[in-house]
Amino acid sequence: MRRDPLKTVTFAAVHFAVAFSVAYLLTGSVAIAGGLALLEPMVNTVACLLHERA
């Protein structure tokens, strides 16, 4: 396996874990934390696209 795809996958896992952990610490809810951890990267991707276009 090339290093770039592996790095991408591990970064995504770390990003999810951090987002989940922060959301869980703030809410105490596994369901809300999971939802936020999945939603945040999608919103961030759109924000990045809009930022690049601006």
CA distances from 39 to 5, 19, 21, 42 (A): 22, 10, 14, 5
pLDDT cut 70: percent of the chain above it: 96
Q: Report the chain's mean pLDDT, rounded to a whole number.
A: 90
Across residues 1-29, what is the average pLDDT? Answer: 89
Q: Domain range holding 24?
A: 3-53
Q: Tell me, what amino acid is at 17?
A: A
Per-residue pLDDT at 1: 56
The CA distance from 23 to 8, in Å, is 22
In total, how many domains does the chain have? Answer: 1
